[in-house]
Amino acid sequence: MDFESVRLADVTRRYGRRRAVSHISLTLRSGDIVGLLGPNGAGKSTLLSMLATLTTPSSGTIVYGEATRRQDGAAVRRRIGVLAHELFLYSELSARQNLTFFAELYGLEASQVVTAALTTADLSDRADDAVSSFSRGMRQRLALERALLHTPRLLLLDEPFTGLDDRSVATVSDRLRRLARSGAIVVLATHDLDVVDGLVTRLALVREGRLLADEAAPVGIRARYRELVGTERTDVS
């Protein structure tokens, strides 16, 4: 099962009386790098969680190609990769053990993909060290490789540049561009407007759960962000 697009139709998510996401309609296409931007509490993480199939919309539908989570849950999840703010790594295990576990969980031949992933993450020399001994940047690189082990079609990233130095930011950005060129749909939630400027191809701006803009990424994202969100405290860097 594979898909070329993901379509959100009038998606709403309520927590009690509060609407975290309100009537969002959006289509994500193969090759897109979508910058999901907005101030804290805008609904970005809830939206990512719904796209990842971890949260069910209160109303509206999310369709992956022709499939839905309810009908083809496992098949849809097989094509989704997630790098969340929490890194989904077992700190007691080594980098190799973490990657091997997740590779096998996705039914991959671990011996082939793990070595390549460790090399890409520049962690070959620390492969057998416990993740608890890694810096935030090293964990972030490892978590990204974990999310990419099964070459997902839909890649959901929540603050993927946290803890990375300039060189790693450039490496990860290049990686995301290559993934998008190969047909992946990349959705990137971040507050770091300078880093995403020139990286994202589309801008989806949310505030208070509502979609304010869905447009081709302009040159100078910060200016466009201020124009749409306003100049009040926006919690961006």
Interface contacts to another protein, rule CB under 8 A: 49, 52-56, 74-75, 77-78, 80, 82, 84, 86-93, 97, 101-102, 104-107, 130, 146
The stretches of 1-105 forming alpha helices (DSSP H) are 44-51, 69-78, 95-105
The residue among 56 and 61 lying less far from another protein, judged by its C-beta, is: 56
The label of the residue with tokens 């069910």 reads 56
Reading phi first (left if > 0) and then psi (alpha if -120 to 50, else beta), residue 41 is in left
In the complex, minimum distance from the CB of residue 87 to another protein, in angstroms, rounded to a whole number? 6
In the complex, minimum distance from the CB of residue 193 to another protein, in angstroms, rounded to a whole number? 26
The residue among 92 and 165 lying less far from another protein, judged by its C-beta, is: 92
In the complex, minimum distance from the CB of residue 133 to another protein, in angstroms, rounded to a whole number? 12
Q: How many CB atoms lie within 10 A of CB 51?
A: 24
The residue among 13 and 207 lying less far from another protein, judged by its C-beta, is: 13
In the complex, minimum distance from the CB of residue 167 to another protein, in angstroms, rounded to a whole number? 25
Q: Please state, in angstroms and rounded to a whole number, the distance separating the CA atoms of residues 88 and 201.
A: 27
In the complex, minimum distance from the CB of residue 213 to another protein, in angstroms, rounded to a whole number? 27
The label of the residue with tokens 């990769």 reads 81
**Contact of 25 with 8, CB cutoff 8 Å:** yes
In the complex, minimum distance from the CB of residue 203 to another protein, in angstroms, rounded to a whole number? 26
- Identify which of 73, 119, 65 has the alpha carbon closest to the alpha carbon of residue 95: 119
The residue among 1 and 170 lying less far from another protein, judged by its C-beta, is: 1
The residue among 156 and 199 lying less far from another protein, judged by its C-beta, is: 156
The residue among 112 and 215 lying less far from another protein, judged by its C-beta, is: 112
Q: How far is CA 185 from CA 35, 120, 168, 176, in A?
A: 11, 20, 21, 10
